[in-house]
Chains A and B, each alone.
Chain A
Amino acid sequence: MSDYESGERVRTDKGVLLRLLRYLGPHKRPLTGALVMLGIATGTDVLGPILIMLFIDNYLTKRYFPHGPLVLLGSAYVGLLCLTALFNYLQVVLFQTIALRIIQRMRVEVFAKVQSLGLSFFDRTPAGSLVSRITNDTEAIKDLFMSVLSTFVQNGFLLVGIYISMFFLSARLAALCLLLAPIIALVMHSYRLLSTRVYYLTRQKLSLLNAKLSESLQGMYVIQAMRQERRLQREFGEINEGYRQTRQRNIQINALLLRPLVDVLYMLTLMVVLTFFGLQSLHAPVAIGVLYAFVNYLERFFEPINNMMMRLNLFQQATVAAQRVFELMDEQLLAPVSVAVSDAQAVPVVREGRVEFRDVTFSYDGQTDVLRNISFVAEPGQTVALVGHTGSGKSTVINLLLRFYPVLRGEVAIDGQPLIAYPDRELRSKIGLVLQDPFLFVGDVRKNIRLGNSAITDEQIERAAEFVQADGFIRKLPHGYEDHIGERGATFSSGQRQLLSFARTIAWEPKILVLDEATASIDTETEEAIQSALQKMRKGRTTIAIAHRLSTIQDADLILVLHHGEIVERGNHQELLSRRGLYHKMYLLQQGGARDSLPGGA
């Protein structure tokens, strides 16, 4: 790591930290409360040894034991203990609650942000890394708030409290002890310097180790088939040993600078204190109680320092995580949203369901066009089918109609209004998508049909299910409509999943249907139900359908044959067959390649 890079990191670290601290803003009041409680707890905590000092100096050494004052002193001591315990408890719970709330806000923010991103973002970001940012990275930041920051604040308070008490006991001695501050600072600083480097190195080697392991496990069949076991064992052994050595260095640094050294500092201070009182006793009497209290404070002074030093590494980890989370929050690839409509204009509403593509050309990456000059019209109630082999651009057409990607060249219009003019809510409720691989959510059947639309009544749900003939199998479920759907519906057959998704679409009563037909064959039993459900659903609705099986779209009003992003043939089934072009060949293929089975064929 070059100096430049580390300098760069420090700067951004500060920026990240500031941005993190801004999240404290809305919690000013509970935060102040927590700080006040912490102050009280620290105060009562450090008063304890002073009471014992009073006991030793005023009563014990003087052999004077009046009943009343001693009981008072004892009760005061117990009272302080209770107060300290109480306020410390409250303070910690409050701090933790604030920290958890902050993380919650952050999580929801980043989740909402991800929801608002366009599909092009999801295309290029692996799902795993997104999930890990929303959950694991925020969890690492939680550690920062819950353990690092609170440790620093609490131990900082304690250090100051102890020091003030020491100052109160003996200003001269306390001032003398202050000389230690630079030494402590130096130790902490050098620890940070040394450990940060090794810490990063350790993490780097660990990720190398994990990568090697995971890669070897995945490619084991290759390794074995190519007899490379020994070489890879050797390579893994080297990485493993390198990791161990780095960790060994980590241990060395920790053993050199952490607890053992802090303990030496404690002993050093103890020597100073004892010498101070010892020398004083040579010519004047010494209050033993003060000496006792000092020794007692010293014993506790170094624990917070230990605590703080041990948290330094966690701090680094959290800032790295925070950086990743903020990066995601700043992501610019938003989903296309409707342009703001001025008040004068009426918000467009889908009434008829007329879909028009006008000379649409589209590219996902800005380089290769996947659609070229696509124009077609689907009149209200008509069915337009898209056919073509994989990669011909069928899915892109419906991706654009669903406004998953922005249309930059050409125009997509519904009822004469450009797609972009429609508010999201209107568009989403009027276009019903039926996906190839129906996606089911965790939750019961009802929830999967209704989704988030509370306007849909239970009755409507059941009617929708009846309409698509999903009612039969739903009622046979152990809990009917309340039956829980686990593991994305793995317990249902693909046909049943498909019917459920039909019911979902129908319950929303869309004007326009977008069908993405399943390629996989469905069990014959449900196949029939699905086909008849589809027939019923299409009635009275404009339908844009991707068809893999040409048999299902023979009654379509218009069939578009796509090839390499262009419409190469268009017409209805009979017209296309008689043209004997690409569609005809596809049809032959699906008929089993047997020429004589073609109606009206050669």
Chain B
Amino acid sequence: MRVFLDLMWFFKMHKLRYLTGVTLLMLVAVLSLIPPHVVGVLVTAIQHHALTRAELLYWVVVLAGTATVVYVLRYAWRILLFGAAMQLSALLREKLYRHFTRLSPQFYHRNRIGDLMAHSTNDVQAIEATATDGVLTLVDSITTGTVVITTMVATISWQLTLIALIPMPVMAFATSYYGKLMHVRFHKAQAAFADITEKTQESIAGVRVIKAFGQEDVETESFASLSADVVQKNVAVARIDALFDPTISMVVGVSYLLSVGFGGLYVTRGAITLGELTTFVLYLGQLIWPMLAFGWLFNIVERGRASNDRVRTLLAVQEDIVNRPGARDVVPSGDVEFKVSSFFYPETTEAALENIFFALKKGQTLGVVGRTGSGKTTLLKLLLREFDVQDGDIAIGGQSIYAVTLEGLRGAIAYVPQDHYLFSASVANNIAFARATATQDEIHHAARLAAVHEDILQFTEGYATLVGERGVTLSGGQKQRLSIARALLMDAEILILDDSLSAVDARTEAQILESLRRERQHRTTLIATHRLSAVAEADLILVMDNGRVVERGSHVQLLRQGGVYAAMYERQQLEEMVEKGGVSA
């Protein structure tokens, strides 16, 4: 029940709503006592032939009135309580989403997207269920239970009430016992289901091997036996599940028998009337639901608590990249300077970068080359503040990037990431992602610069074509160029290209680089790449290895040096030849 306390902040937020809803719920419980009472009164009157037309009319009108009022109240509490719970889940989703947008890439490395999705959907759902079904069953079973039993004791007979309730604990005991059995068997059934899911995944992932070894029938057989196991485990669940209803109807039936039997005795003794007995039996019927609901309640609450704990933990994750105290909200501008003695990824002991010192004048181009894992991307990510430097500083225009807000810093940088993620939206909206207000001309211009305009016109719906998961499939090169166009539209002073031209052919690459040079005069560009042709014109090239700068200089200087860079260059010339089929030397 602790979860109700945990959710108290929300209940307090909607105090009036919950108070009204719960009051209405109680009112319904009380009003529900009327019809059995009316039936009892009428039975007595009919039995004694004392019923008059007026009296009959009166009671029928009472029933009609009760029915109307109860209908309205029932409608109202549902809207109030269910509506509130939906606001709770909407609020939680909103909170989670906002929180997600503040967490750094590090967080996304540590957590799988699937898990985060599950927390935002399943867990939120379970919490919602606690706030609806949980509150409902708690209030309803307690009020209905108390009100009905009190009425039975007070207005009819406490002895008969006691007798009628004798079998009820059996029901509570049996259902909780079945519940325990179910729990175990249900888990087994779920595990069996997970097995067939895994088998299916395996058979699809390994389809080539299966076909090559002619194992299709064997696979199907083994799937069939696994799925027979699913049947068996589920039948085991059904065997328990099917016990609930018969047990309940047995218990209720015995309870009825006791009421009518002993009630008959009381009637003959004149302790109660026959009408009262009828009322009594109808009341008894109203007790079944609260008894059942109480068993349920524990289930709901247990799930709700676990889910609420998970969501709370998630919301409590600290943001690790934050504005430093006193950070100024300006967009920095000017020369870029790296003074990084060392950089470690969180929870690692080996430096990812060491002694990275360089300065880049505003308007210059930096090239960073080196093998995969040499630290190129890390270097760029430090400038973006995806991670913070502990030992050293990075400055733009002589001002530390930590002295300005994240918002300001990122306003100065247009970033084309290595894995170019596109959103499920039109081509135009994807290009205008960073500037939703961009005009069509601006969008087309950016696309032309990124040499993707012609490609877009080839799509069935041009700039309105949908891309992303549910849209057209783009080639890797097209994705990269869209991603570049998207960054260019930002019109920021610093452009970062992180291996962003790898899937583009050499001629298109040259074309894009040429338009960048033309268009981005007096603005700074940082390019990390495997392909040296992309940095041949850079003002400064850093050759990285193992997190360190092993060579630096211009293309010409580096070639003359005859070191790692020169060797790489020679090798790439050869590779290019092979790709072209070895035709040109």
Contacts and interface: CB of A to CB of B under 8 A. Distances in A.
Interface of A: 45, 48, 52, 55-56, 59-61, 63, 65, 74, 77-78, 81-82, 84-86, 88-89, 92-93, 96-97, 100-101, 103-104, 107-108, 111-112, 114-116, 119, 122, 127, 130-131, 134-135, 139, 209-211, 213-229, 231-233, 236-237, 240-241, 243-244, 247-248, 251-252, 254-256, 259-261, 263-264, 267-268, 270-271, 274-275, 277-279, 281-282, 285-286, 288, 291-292, 295-296, 299, 335, 389, 402, 404, 424-425, 427-429, 431, 433, 435, 439, 441-442, 451-452, 488, 504, 508, 514, 563-564, 568, 581-582, 584-586, 588-589, 592-593
Given A92-B242, A251-B83, 18 more contacts: A63-B268, A85-B249, A93-B235, A96-B235, A114-B204, A217-B116, A220-B101, A222-B433, A227-B411, A236-B94, A254-B78, A274-B38, A274-B63, A296-B281, A402-B212, A433-B209, A433-B212, A593-B567
Nearest to B195: A442
Given A116-B216, A241-B90, A100 B208 contact: no
Nearest to B218: A452
Interface stretch (B47-55, B340-348, B359-367): B47-55
A77 B567 CA distance: 97
Interface stretch (B13-21, B145-153, B417-425): B417-425
Nearest to B117: A214
B535 to A, nearest CB: 19
Contact of A248 (B86, B241, B281, B413): B86
B288 to A, nearest CB: 10
Contacts of A259: 74
A8 to B, nearest CB: 22
Contacts of A240: 90, 93-94, 97
Contacts of B42: 274, 277-278
Contacts of B201: 127, 131
| Among A82, A292, A427: residue with most chain B CB under 10 A | A292
A373 B283 CA distance: 87
Given A241-B90, A263-B74, A582-B582, A130 B47 contact: no
A256 B74 CA distance: 9
B213 interface: yes
Contacts of B218: 451-452
A166 B204 CA distance: 58
Contacts of A111: 200, 203, 219-220, 223-224, 227
Given A92-B242, A215-B469, A226 B97 contact: no
Interface stretch (B154-162, B296-304, B573-581): B573-581
Interface string B196-220: 1111111111111111111111111
A288 B47 contact: yes
Interface stretch (B259-267, B322-330, B547-555): B259-267
A45 B46 CA distance: 28
Nearest to B225: A108
Interface residues of B, number: 138
Contacts of A116: 216
Interface string B19-63: 000000000000000010011001101110101010010011001
B506 interface: no
B541 interface: no
A309 to B, nearest CB: 15
A370 to B, nearest CB: 15
A56 B257 contact: no
Interface string B236-258: 00110111011101100110110
B215 A452 contact: yes
B117 A435 contact: no
A343 B280 CA distance: 83
Contacts of B228: 104
Contacts of A236: 94, 97
A442 B579 contact: no
Contacts of B433: 222, 226, 228
B131 to A, nearest CB: 13
B197 A135 contact: yes
Interface in B59-115: 59-60, 63-64, 66-68, 70-71, 74-75, 78-79, 82-83, 86-87, 89-90, 93-94, 97-98, 100-105, 108, 113
B79 A255 contact: yes
A452 B212 CA distance: 13
Given A244-B87, A267-B63, A593-B571, A225 B415 contact: yes
